[in-house]
Structure 1
Amino acid sequence: MPHTTEPGATTTSAVRGMRWRFGRCGFDGSSLSLSVDDQIVPLEPKPLELLMFLLLHAGEVVTKEELHENIWPGRVLSESVLTKCVARLRSAIGDADQSMIRTVHGYGYRFAAELSVETATPEAPAPALGLQAGDAPPLRPLWRLLRPLGHGGSSEVWLAEHSKTREQRVFKFALGPDQLSALKREITLFRLLQQTYGERRDVVRLLDWNLDDPPYFIETELVAGGTLPDWCEAQGGIATVPTATRLELIAQAAEALAAAHTAGILHRDLKPANLLIDTSAERPQVKLGDLGCGQALDAHQLHQLSITRMGFTQALDGSTEGTPLYLSPERLAGQPPTAKSDIYALGVMLYQVLAADWRRPLAPGWERDIDDPLLRDDIAAAAAGRAEERIGDAAELAWNLRHMRERHQRREHETAQQLEAERLRSALDRSRQRRGFTRALVAVLIVGICATSFGLWRAREERRQAIAAREEASAAVRFLSDDVLAATDPFGGGRPRLSLHGLLDEAAPKLVQQLDRFPVARAQIGLAMGRAYEGLGDWSGARQRLETALKEAVGALGEEADLSLAIADRLAYVSLLQSRYDESERLFEKVYRIRSARFGEHHPDTLATRDGMAWLEYERGHYADAAQRYEALIKDYGDTDPEGLTSVRWSLADCDLELNRSAKAEQLMRMVIANSTALQGAHHPRVLWQMTTLGDVLMTQGRYDEAAQIFDQAYTGLVATVGETHPYTLTALHFRGVLQLERGDPVAALPLLRRAYENRAGIHGEDHVWTRFSANRVGEALIQLGLVSEALPLLQKTYAAAVAAQGPAHPNVLLIVHSYADALIAAGHNEEAESLLLRALADSQQSLPSDNLRIAYLRQSLGELRAQQHRTEDAKRELTAAHAIYVTALGAAHPQTQRAEERLRHI
């Protein structure tokens, strides 16, 4: 839509009382007079009207056609008329170097000087419009006004009905120039939302508008339930609405607000009256309305989407426009609004719905009105007095409100842990003369070290005198007692709340000091500590302990000793977790050579090493080779090692998923989870981590609801058992975000994926393969939201790191190519995208089977590029090839296949 000034903007009525100053110049809108150095400059009307139009659209490119339409409406002019008018204006304001009015070649002009705007005199209040029931709005002869719905300072709102169809709509009329600007802002921001997401059920639909003849208005859909307070009153009052329903409504409002923020929109007047309730579906649905006070954060984004910045001729920053009860402290202090200002209003509304009183302010002592401690936390996080202490994403509040049961379970678990800790501290007080009190604090580590001490004593007894073996074992026990467990003894200067990770960190430097004469004991304990670090997700800590332990074991016993092999085998696994493939391969092959020669192929230790070697093939993208290795392992394991057999089946399921055998993968994962549950219990972290693979299988099959339930259960359980930032937990979080992306909801996906990416980067580093997985998905979400300028550098960096680590033909890299190319296409870098995609497709022929989904993704991207290049036949060929792979890999009924088929029909 082209620039349109407010009707009459080139006359005094639209800018009555406004004055602009720029450089040495001033312009009075009430008199259409230009001054330079406070001296009036005589000038013809048309250059003055041209100046006012440019001032109203300062900073924007105004096309020549728009200037013709608004300054000389209805007249056919040669281009020289506009050129002479601009030249006359430049001469009057002293713009010989064209620094104030800049020519944008091929388009038009842009006013680029710094501006200040002031109000000379207060504007008189706008009169009422005098509308009556039965009137027809301008240009709408078939519509009749039925009754007024509201009348405020910004608009006059009427319910209207079509005389033939009986359809009802809401008409919002402007009462004056300022109110007209509000209507225009609402149009602009609705168009921005629509072009970002398409139709959304949680935003009031704007259907039409009239900006041609007064009284000016916009038409919106009629939302049958009315405003949130009206709907609550119709239910018998807010207190009678079930608490779960109240929380769901605020969660829906939070999701809608998060979508607006992600699209670059601030609402600025969020309140219950601007939340409308749609009752046409099975359950009430919140719709966000009244964007008239809103603000677009990124004018460049509007330009990219070809949306005219109607209603934004004046800056809104620092305005305290809005409803005082819901204005954040920083806005009341005159600071510019932010997304956190909107979230503050959301927090106030959450408090009000729980307190069952729409008029109650969030005053000191509000906590006494809220019984649930988690909801108190949510209100405090959303409506914190200091903006920097407030949550930054409304979607986070929505997630919290919808997962109250899981959060309560987690809180109960934490409380139980605290009570257990108190019990242990009491036991400590009663038995401080004994050293056995700490065994419950570090059970895993103690078992490993105690077993080490006993095994060491027996193993060395045959090779040394019994007295020497006992001395060595005694030194290990003293290290355990005095340097590990004593760190938690408050009577000895320790810290009873010390975590297992902290315990390991404190004990590690003392290992050499206390066991300086016993390298084998140091190596044994180093292996136990390395496993403990690995279990905590600290792979760098695990590597450090294992590398030291391996040197000590090899130095004392030789590289073929059982202890040396056990440490090397574990170090190979950790290297694999850190994507150090060559190092992992070297260690695995060395251990396998020795173990297979000594024990044979079917010995449990040899089988464990073969398992690691198969996993290495999988991580390198050799899925068929890995699957063959795992199938052979299943035969060789038999029933001798249930846990090892379960692990191999889990890995084979991952291979089957990559090889388009999802039904087999599902069968294997259900067997794996059942067996692991029998061996370790349903709440064991390993079982919960295995559930994420099952969820991935279900998601690949398009069974999104089942996958969502699995991912949520796994995530909640992992948070409760190993914490929010453990690698297993972040895997579940990542998949929860991916699922939202697959469902076509990037607004819900982005905060989840960002949390997974940022935490993975903090734990593993930016260059780790798991970090790149999440970075790639964050990029996909940003592209779908139209935030290409943010997605492109992230994907460019991720792609470069992936190529450096795994090579251009690795399947993981080809996934990133698909996203990176989409970002390049969206940014208009078509040649770079084409080169990237063609190289990737050539590489894929060497590394992947022809029906792999990654090839489909690449062909889909190339097809979209060909469509943009107007190479229709080439586009059809690529999209047809992609569709054929989707049918083979996913089935004809899968949502991805259906989307590809629909796209193909429209080429």
Structure 2
Amino acid sequence: MPSSQPSPDARLYRWRFGAVEFDESRHELRVAGLAVDMEHKPLQVLSVLLRHVGEVVTKEELFEQVWAGRITVDHVLATAIGKLRKMLDAAGEDRIVTVPRIGYRMDGPVERVAQGQRLGTALSFVAGQPVPGREHFLLERPLGRTLGSEVWLARQPRSRDARVFKFSLGGERLAAIKREATLMRVLRDTLGERDDFVRVLDWNFETEPFFLECEYGGESLPEWAASQGALAEWDRERRLAFFLQIAAAVDAAHSVGVLHKDIKPANVLVRARREARWQPCLTDFGNSRLLQPERLAELGITGMGLTVTTASNGSGTPLYLAPELIAGQAATVRSDLYALGVLLYQWLVGDLRRPMAPGWERDIDDALLVEDIRRATDGDPAQRLGSVAELMERLSALPQRRALAERQQATALAAHAAQRTLEQTRARRPWVIATIAMLSAGLIASSLFWYRSEQQRRSAAMQAARAEAVVRFLSDDLIGALSPGGAGFERDPTVRQMLEHAGTPLTTRFDGDPAVRGGIHAALGDAWRTLGDRERAAGHLRNAVQDYGRAFGVDDELTLITRYGLVRTLAYAGTSEAFAEAERQLREADRLAGSTRLRSENPLALYAAIARGQLHFQQLQIEPSLAAHRRADALQRKLRPDDASMAALIRSNIADALLRSGKAEEAVPLLRALLADPLLDASRIGESTTAGYRVMLARALRSLGRYAEALPIAQTAAATTERILGPDDYTTLVQLSLVASIHDYAGACAKALPIARTVRERVAHRYGEERQATLIETGNLGFKEYDCGDREAGLAYLRQAESGLRRHFGEDNVAAHSFRYALANQLADQGRHAEALEMVDGLSVPALTAGDSTPGWEHRLQALRGRILMQSGRQQEGRPLLAAAISALTDLGAEDDEQMREWRGLLDKQ
């Protein structure tokens, strides 16, 4: 039985100081009565400091008491102290003092109340005794022991049913088994019953010894491999098939937001199944993490063990810890992938204890497998594969990749020969080689989809013919044409001309293979979109949709994702015709996808949400755009948590939508969090994207009247974008327009006007007078001309923008109504009441609300009409309208104080 004698340091307390309360018995921290989510190690440090209030606790003492027996790094203590200080500072309790080169001290008065005593730190079970609280099971043999916890195999004497019991006396180990119980419920309730997870059957968290009761999942992988001879007798193909089952379990956990954080051979169990099949099972989720804790409420699950999210970022087995975890960074999908990559290496070399020392590549005689392991275990997480699913896809396609690699080698040799000839006869053209490489990469990437057709997968002759066609396309049609004597050589073509040349032979070269042709069209579409030519990009994407539809079916996931990409490209084009086609394509994609798939959590739903959000956003339909992007954000965090470019796209649009909805106070903290997020560092998503975030932060600060903060941020961002993309790029011009508006808001007309005029001129020159972007910048210039004194010029620009937007983009165009509302106000200011009323008559409440979701637009229009009528001498008509509108807007709290004072002043005067 477990020891019942209290140890010398067994007392547990509830500590109180200021608004802070820490209950050691529950491992619960509260500030002002609200639970605070904090990792376990900082709480242990807090406990030690509280037990020595007013005394200096050395760093060595803290390491010994908090990290005893664990491998750690120096800065983990400083990280824990930093987290405590952040919490205490928020509570107004600056109490932790650093004693240089020695340690830390907790100062100030502290209250404590005894909460009881903890049992001794050692459990003492013996084989044959009944399980405490489950007496019909007898302990058979121990499976593992750590300080304060034991794992035992137990059996029912008559039925011989086996169970595994994980015992704990409390503290960190109790939190671990509670966390495991919670996360196993998440896995079961979202994924259903699966054979590759060990089921949790019951638990006791009320009385010591606490325990978790699990089904028996079999022997651990090292024990089983030794007994079955799997490492010595199985060939590589069989080993890979078995490993893919382990990876599938990890990928399934990731798909519902569960990180394992301690993947290693001992946490993989193996049990026999029918037909002499072996089933690996993933176990021990006691150290795991739930990426989206809010899902617990959706599933109706109590978050046991998750108040303290996890023991430590650096927790786990050192051999399998990703470098970023040792450095103190948070666990991610890629850190689990790292551990899985180490396990793959050990499994293939036949030694489950061998570390990945320098030179490990010599142990694997397959170059593709070496590359796969290297991509899974790269020291830089940004360079690793994006997900376990990607590793599985690569391993599953090894035979096809080997065949393709031979063809690619032939293509590379042809490209190298052509490049040498070019260098010998003419000046170097590095962009030519870069363009060839880009198209080659597009072909290689699209080749992953070629194997999806069952008929084509079974046909070796088809694969050989396909690879030969790809080689001929690159070596003859593209590289050959640019070699001396080739059709394109003498013209010294630009990158754009090369892309045009690349697209010419597709029909004849791949007439019988729409899967390959679709992949090339998709690659060319992405290239043209990157170059800013949305029309050409859309053309290639239309062809890709048609070819993929022929190869895989119109409702296939790849076909539909490509169609949703076409919707985004058309939305960016910014013409009324493009918007109309985008809406048609979106409706068709949604119809083919079906409501069930779109409501589910899958990649198709993610791409659909992005496309819908982008189309709404480009049409300035802000509220539906915000809803769609928030749906995309939730899906991306779950399905593609490490996809930096996708995260950047989605979150930037959410922030932009908040700004356009007048919610700058919400946008500022979101944008600051984005700029501080390691996933969205400039090294991963690019300087120009980061500059875009800074521009939005500047817009938010401008909206809040913080012009001195906003201006340098906007100027620096615009300069960065201009350096990278050029002075006439649309993004550069939009950012310069923001700089002008900040000057305008701050009253610096002499600085605002020249910039605004330049922006409008450059946009018109590059995109034409009738583009939506040009017309919006025309209206923006009108505001500045009006504010800076030339009111006639300002009104003329506003009229041009308003009428042009309505004429080319429809009567309901959101931007057109925004400019019309401004025109009505400014005409009223000028005493041109008849014209102002005409403008009011054409305004639409739904369109204005779509552009600015602040409630009360019907009342604002009523107030504007009442104001104009009163100012024109029609008191009896205008006064009741204005008075009623003021009352309604006051109840809504939907108008700024300055505007309300102006309206009330008008009522008082007249």
TM-score, normalised to structure 1's length? 0.45
